[in-house]
Amino acid sequence: MSRHLPHRPTVLIESSAYASRWRDVAPSAKALFALAGIIASWIAQGPAALAALTAILMLTAFLAARVPLHAYIAAALPPLGFLLLSYLTMLVGPDHNGHWHITTAMLPTIEHTALRSTAMLAALLGLVLTTPMPDLLALLRKLRTPELLLDLMVLCYRMLFVMRQAWDESITAQTARLGYRNWRQAWRSTGLLAGQMAVQVWQRAAALQTAADARVYQGTLRFLPTAYPQAKRQITAAAVAGAVMLAIALGDRL
């Protein structure tokens, strides 16, 4: 049995964002490019146009932003697994007698939905794998997103790392006590760990609240702003690239 979390997509995404070649690109430019990709993917109808949009978005992430392939695949696997499960359920339907069986009637719909979802996913991955969370929050604040929603996002984001730390420390302690020497002991240790995680996370969340109160927390979490001297040029480039994707989608639609 594995002694560590099988995968930490949140940590991987954030690490990739900070190491990205586009780390110093204005978040507004990256968000504009991603938004154009999403809108173009929604407008496009034909499989060739959707495949072209997906290729543009993925190649931009790999070649321009230099996102590592392993990080991209690891971040894409969970949503792709969810989509695959959805497509499999669309292959099952009732016949005239009310009996459920595998049907191919939905294959055209599945193909179109799969291509569109993949293109939109590529647009979102290009944004989150190149933009750290503080930059996204700063952009959302400029767009006048309610402060309560932003604070909830920060707290949930922070709690993911708190949970990871509590998990890793507990795993280390159990391993030192030979808690994973065989399968039976491993299952027992995992059950004990799951039972203790709620208490651990609750205690650490209380400590975070105490720390916030000690710093006179008034309901708004602030971050140091980051300057982007070339923001106008970057936004212009993103607008041009977005216009190309929209032209492809509109040309396919018309």
Q: Look up tokens 């216009």; give the residue.
A: 243
Q: For 87-122, how does the pLDDT look when each residue is reduced to its tens digit (9 = 90+)?
A: 888 887 766 676 777 777 788 888 999 999 999 999
Q: Average of pLDDT values for 41-65?
A: 94
The domain tally of the chain equals 1
Tally of helices (H runs) and strands (E runs) in the chain: 9, 2
**pLDDT tens-digit readout, 210-232:** 877 776 666 666 667 778 889 99
With contact defined as beta carbons under 8 Å apart, do 122 and 58 qualify? yes
Fill in the amino acid letter for 78. P
Q: What's the start-to-end Cα distance of the chain, in Å? A: 55
Q: Give pLDDT tens digits for 122-171.
A: 999 999 999 988 899 889 988 988 888 887 887 777 777 777 777 777 88
> How many whole angstroms separate alpha carbon 99 and alpha carbon 185?
45
Domain range holding 51? 9-253
Residue 203: pLDDT over 90 = no
| Confidence band for 200, pLDDT divided at 50, 70 and 90 | confident
pLDDT > 90: percent of the chain: 39
- Within a domain: 237: yes
Question: Does 47 map to a domain?
Answer: yes
pLDDT > 70: what percent of the chain?
A: 90
Task: Tell me, yes or no, whether 3 lies in a domain.
Answer: no
CA angle (40 as vertex; 36, 45 as ends), nearest 5: 175
**Does 98 map to a domain?**
yes
- What is the pLDDT at residue 68? 92
Does 1 reside within a domain? no
Q: Answer yes or no: is 240 within a domain.
A: yes
- Structural domain includes residue 89: yes
Q: Which two tokens stand for residue 217?
A: 């927390």
Q: Is 138 domain-assigned?
A: yes
Angle between helices 9-19 and 147-176 (to 10 degrees): 110
Q: How confident is the model at residue 206 (pLDDT cuts 50, 70, 90)?
A: confident
> What is the pLDDT at residue 204?
74
